[in-house]
Amino acid sequence: MGFFGFKWDSRLAKPYTNMKKRILVTGGAGFIGSNTCENLIDEGHDVICLDNFITGRKSNIEELLKSPSFHLIEGDIRNIEDCRKAVANIDIVLHLAALGSVPRSIADPITTNDININGFLNMIVATRDAGIKRFVYAASSSTYGDSESLPKIEDKIGKPLSPYAITKYVGELYADVFSKTYDMECIGLRYFNVFGRRQDPAGAYAAVIPKFVDALMQNESPIINGDGTFSRDFTYIDNVIQINKLALFTSDAKALNQVYNVAFGESSTLNELFEEIKLNLSKFKLSIGLIECSFGDFRKGDIPHSLASIDKAKTLLSYKPAHSLKEGLAETVKWYWINKNC
């Protein structure tokens, strides 16, 4: 049983060493970060979290703070001294801290660049200077840009369509150079539309699934950008935790200094997504099943369709995503409903 009363699925891979490690998770108070921190602690590791709480939330790590295996450093990756403090006596770095959202990057490219590029460089330099070999970092499916090929294969990308996409690709380029120049072990994980428990539904830049869930739970009509035919490869958080651990602890030299798609390998339209969320919520409140969605303008920087090939991750990291969109949505909707009504 996890710190938050969540029982981890037995299908989650446990491929990593039994040796206790000290792991730095930047952005550890965020959605993906807090879930990963919890799982690593449950597996017996010490976790140090670096977060400035721009997008992370202290409520996400409230229970973790009670554990002697969890340590919080309030700091900013834009400050090199904060980065150096965070990597002291660390075995492995998982760099998740970033300023997400394509629309936010269009509205404020300077801040996005400062955090995602300057902050990334600070972290990888601090990691190098501390003599830490393994640097695993969050990349993004936005890197595929205007490429129309499906499914998305790691070595075939297009031109970026947003400042956010540019910043995430620059991180990949830096990691490649550092692996070759400084003999570091860098692994990039291109996350595809991650969703699950603790994802924040609030704010102008919230992800689509928590926004839909929150609106329906308030008996409101969610707004779909466009006509709902755009499709995405939605990826449940437990699949992401699995591959995070695989990347952190793999001992296979062939798996190092690579970039991997992190997805389930199936796509669904926004219309299909809405209907599935509505179906799950109607099990708790029948009237929600009668709510219809509204349609708005297409968003700048959005690509029509996204579907990942996960063959590379399966082959080199033994990645076996256990949760489909339907399975993940059932768990996610249940979590939101319980936490709203508890």
Q: C-alpha 116: how far from its chain's center?
A: 14
The mean pLDDT of 228-238, rounded to a whole number, is 94
Helix, strand counts (H, E) of the chain: 11, 13
Tell me which H or E stretch contains 194: strand 194-195
Q: Report helix, strand and coil shares of the chain as percent, to nearest 5.
A: 40, 15, 40
Nearest residue to 218 via CA among 280, 144, 291, 276: 291
pLDDT one-digit tens code per residue, 8-62: 343 343 444 558 999 999 999 999 999 999 999 999 999 999 999 999 999 999 9
Catalytic machinery residues: 164
The mean pLDDT of 272-288, rounded to a whole number, is 95
The mean pLDDT of 306-328, rounded to a whole number, is 96
Flag whether pLDDT at 298 surpasses 90.
no
Predicted confidence at residue 299, as pLDDT, reads: 77
Flag whether pLDDT at 221 surpasses 70.
yes
pLDDT grade for 115, boundaries at 50, 70 and 90: very high
Structural domains of the chain, ranges and CATH numbers in brackets:
22-196+236-266+303-323 (3.40.50.720)
